[in-house]
Structure 1
């Protein structure tokens, strides 16, 4: 640099003006005092496009094709006479050699013109981040496996007198969270990692807030990098949901049961689940349930009788390979206390030092988890030396039986525990045992079994005091010390004693009272029965019998049906000792093998075991040859005589009863007249009987005649039937050939066609009537009845017709005249006949002999 240039530069600097060097040199520092050291710092963030005393080679003359200066830098003199750039410019160079730094020495007069030249090497040291996996599973918290990256190698050269001494300028790495890649609103993580390490652990529970990127800066001995490496943040959130727990330990203040939950939707970074009991929903004073559970496990068991203490919640955390979650999922605990409210027991085993009976209790109010009840006897209310007295009973059971003869030993209490799928209760509900005793005294027996060599009778005794628990007594026969059940009709065999036990509603005593036996006997003599049910296969009538001469102990009689072998008996009824007959209702079927009647004498204790029997004789008294001919000649009406033949066994018949019915079994039957005495074998069915009842729409036609016999006991249930045939016999084609030409008179023959079936027709009756359905005074009979075989009757000429406009022709049987006649108009032929007469007379007047030659209009 020339002295002029140097002087100009000094003047510009001293005047704090813009320094533009003619050789594109910028002064980095003014005078550096001698002895102050052999190095100067370069201001951080100096852009490489600006060089201080830059030359293309060792001298400025080597510069070629310097580009246009785009912007002049502005320097402001600092207090130490240095210049700090506040605005940069970019200059394009085409250099044939590397840029260099020049160091000039200076005397008191001038600056050196030949500097020491040092080639500039721009150091760039930046990492690249390959990955970061957030393993803090709480929302808005970060933490993870080591942050891995790769250092982009670079070398730094300090400005010093040693030109070629080289070493790494990066001393460590620094980490931030920021809201963009450029570092906006950044937050330091407090981590400075030494060079040589290419990974770092982000501490768990690092607060993310609004940060979106993780930034890594390199830091040299001079300063921190301004352009970091950046990696977008993915905040992993992995909490369980739907925590559930039902306390199945039924003791108050104790827990037991299964805690379950639903896994997070993303479990890729979940390694374990941890469940705790805690004093609130955030896990205060938590105590872990079991051990860490591997991912995939969705439940853990709280062992029965776990003390609740001050805990109020179950909390469940997820855990990654890094750390346990800090904000758990939780469930408030509901402590189930399910004790039965009471236990009742009354000792119904009436022997001393033995108990037995029914235990009763009610279900706890909170019974949602109870599966069973267990019952014990114990030496105190806490269950000391307890022994189970019944099998486990399913929930819903509220009673149990303590078997009789249970030895009390030292037991003082009965206990009931509730039980769940997890455990049995530890604090039971209890009942204090009271041992009850009761035995009879003053035992005696009067034998009232009426069979020989059989026992039964009145055993009397004095009841125990008190006897409130005695529900009954059991009596036994004993041979020596052996005992057997004593029931009525018990064979005496070799028995010598009667022994009596008291019995509660639960069980009899085991220690009886006894006395010596004596025996007594009775049976009916004869049975009579006459079957008054006249149906074959059915019985009915009165059973009578003769009593035994020795009937002092007889209190009554029992009468049974039995089959021919005496088996399959069924009770007909019973009577008192002074009644020796009983009615057998009619329609009692005899069955395929026949029936017998059995009569047992009975004392106040029991009936005999050996009855007197009589085989029934079934009476069959049905009529035969039922006959009926319908003599009501109208369609759908019947009438005539029903007849029949007397039964073969008619001695018991008192009446006959006839019916018309819809079927042979008497469906919707209707009685014909009254009952007929047994000496009469027919009955009249009045004419005009409709074959269907008009007021019952859903009935079928009457199709059967039924005849029943009737005894003094009952009418038969199975009649003899005869199929009913409805006879219809009406004339047809009735006509009057009018021969009286006077307007008010009629006269001439009336003709008709006979019915197809004349078997029951005896006569025809002809009437002139005012209208087609006329009856009574509105009709006038023409002559007498006409016998069958004649189909014509003559109306005399000059018969005054008057209001009689129609003719009715009835058929008549030997029983009755038809009610529905054949009807036609009496005037319908008169006009035609008058025309024929007029036609004939006109022909005669014209001299024609063939009237058909004249066409009448």
Structure 2
């Protein structure tokens, strides 16, 4: 039994050379070698047997220091026992470390590491759990048993291993602690059965559930064509656990949770809080920008979203009166009305084109915003 002040294991002894008057053996824990304040342990062992398996979790309290064994005849128990000084095997892990690298709240993921006990000869495995406290709760069941209800197993590793990987997106389910139990084998010598003694008092670590999401996502559209996007997506860095953020990933999405998302450009390193969406990026059916944080382990699964507004600014009511009377030449004043939203317009570029979509266009000139006419040069050959 690997808990402090608790015992469990195999007791063996050598029977007396003359045992024809011995009926059985009685085992006790006592405060000294002569059986002071003794307390019975185990079963009554019949003569001819020289071993007894003591179940785990036998308390050493109040202050037992010896195991004493008395022979008993059919008449009386002897007064001077054989004895053995108790040595309490304590094997508890230490220095548990768990840095959660799943950046979604209520999801966990990363390596749990610990330092193995210095005395670990009896240890066979380590059992790792999420738990509701440093000593997980038990609940009385319908059958009278006391099953564990305050813990959920993460894994089991063999002695010699000091790490367990917790996959990303492991639900925390309200648990507040990581607890680790050392386990030993209680094997009955020469027998076919084996039992397992697991610590009842684990080592523990309070879990810090990382939560690192950006805020205040914004987009300023600079591509003035309808159904085309272009401009800067910006955001504020996470207010907590930012030291675990490696980069940001920006997508176009159909909704707030990243459905059918399409990444814009490459990952943005931590420390930069904006990304240029290239001009003429097709909007398609997307309705949101979504921004994810990413650690060295994984990208978060719940992004921060921003509703997409497609900026469109088309000049209206174009008018041109040709005052050059020669065939194949143009001259005159081109006028137009400004778009309904002129916020992002800085100038108007004017072209002569083969069709309404700018095919084979020829640059004529430009004017700054606020001016809505351009004089086309005389004798321009068309």
TM-score by length of 1: 0.36
SS in 1 for 2:264: strand
Equivalent residue in structure 2 for 1:179, among 132, 140, 162: 132
Asked whether the equivalents of residues 97 and 113 of structure 2 are also in contact (C-alpha less than 8 Å), the reply is yes
What does residue 206 of structure 2 align with?
232
Picking from 179, 184, 187, the partner of 1:215 is 179
Change (3 A) 1:151 1:103: farther
Match of 2:114 in 1: 149
Distance 1:250 1:219 in 2: 68
State whether residues 137 and 239 of structure 1, in contact with CA within 8 Å, keep that contact through their aligned partners in structure 2. Answer: yes
Deviation string 1:148-169 (CA, Å, 9 cap, x unpaired) is 32122225xxxxxxxxxxxx22
Deviation digits for residues 157-194 of structure 1 (CA, Å, limit 9, x no counterpart): xxxxxxxxxxx222222222223221235332422222
Q: Distance in 2 between matches of 1:136 and 1:233?
A: 13
Larger Rg: 1
Change (3 A) 1:7 1:378: closer
Task: Give 2:262's aligned residue.
Answer: 287
The one of 370, 373, 377 aligned to 1:396: 370
Question: Which residue of 1 is the match for residue 94 of structure 2?
Answer: 128
8 Å CA contact 1:277, 1:289 repeated in 2: yes
Distance 1:193 1:103 in 2: 41
Equivalent-residue separation in structure 2 for 1:104 and 1:349 (angstroms): 133
Q: Residues 368 and 31 of structure 1: is their aligned pair in 2 closer, same or farther, counting only changes over 3 Å?
A: same
Q: Which whole-Å deviations, capped at 9, do the CAs of 1:375-423 have from their partners, x for residues lacking one? A: 1112223322221111x32222211111010101xxxxxxxxxxxxxxx
Change (3 A) 1:3 1:324: same
Asked whether the 8 Å contact 2:96–2:204 carries over to 1, the reply is no
2:176 and 2:37 map into 1 onto residues whose CA distance is 48
Q: In 1, distance between residues paired with 2:230 and 2:153?
A: 44
Match of 1:340? 315
**Residue equivalent to 2:350:** 375
Any unmatched runs of 5+ in structure 1?
10-20, 50-89, 156-167, 409-857
How far 1:278 moved relative to its partner? 0.9
- Report if aligned partners of 2:25, 2:70 keep a CA contact under 8 Å in 1: no
Quick check: 2:70–2:77 contact (8 Å CA) kept in 1? no
1:45 correspondence with 2:57: yes
d(CA) in 1 for partners of 2:116, 2:291 = 41
Superposition deviation, residue 207 in structure 1: 2.7
Distance 1:307 1:101, change over 3 A: farther
In structure 2, C-alpha distance between the alignment counterparts of 1:147 and 1:8, rounded to whole Å = 47
Where does 1:663-682 land on structure 2 (aligned, <5 Å)?
none
Contact 2:129/2:179 (8 A) holds in 1: yes
Given that 1:105 and 1:115 are in contact with CA atoms closer than 8 Å, whether structure 2 keeps it comes out as no
Distance 1:405 1:104, change over 3 A: farther
Query: Residue in 2 aligned with 1:331?
Result: 306
Task: Give the length in aligned residue pairs.
Answer: 334
- Kindly indicate whether the alpha-carbon contact (under 8 Å) linking 1:243 and 1:331 is maintained by their aligned counterparts in 2: yes
Report the RMSD for the aligned CA atoms in angstroms: 3.6
Query: Scaled by the length of structure 2, what TM-score is found?
Result: 0.76
> 2:314 and 2:50 mapped to 1: Cα distance?
93
Which structure has more RCO (C-alpha within 8 Å, separation ≥ 6)?
2
Query: For the structure 1 residues 273 and 103, does the alpha-carbon distance in structure 2 shift closer, same or farther, using more than 3 Å as the test?
Result: farther
Higher strand share: 2
Deviation at 1:323, TM superposition (A): 2.0
> Paired residue for 1:194, among 158, 175, 197?
158
* Distance of 1:241 and 1:151 partners within structure 2: 41
Corresponding residue SS for 2:54: coil
Query: For the Cα contact (< 8 Å) 2:131–2:175, is it kept in 1?
Result: yes
CA distance in 1, matches of 2:252, 2:199: 49
Q: Aligned with 2:183: secondary structure? A: strand
Q: Distance in 2 between matches of 1:398 and 1:189?
A: 72
Unpaired runs of 5+ residues, structure 2, are: 1-15, 27-34, 138-148, 186-195
Q: Is the 8 A contact 2:41 2:54 kept in 1?
A: no
Are residues 206 and 190 of structure 1, via their aligned partners in 2, closer, same or farther at CA, if it must alter by over 3 Å? same
Residue 11 of structure 2 aligns with which residue?
A: none
Cα separation, 1, equivalents of 2:353 and 2:46: 105
Please tell me whether the aligned partners of residues 101 and 120 of structure 1 are also in contact (alpha carbons under 8 angstroms). Answer: no
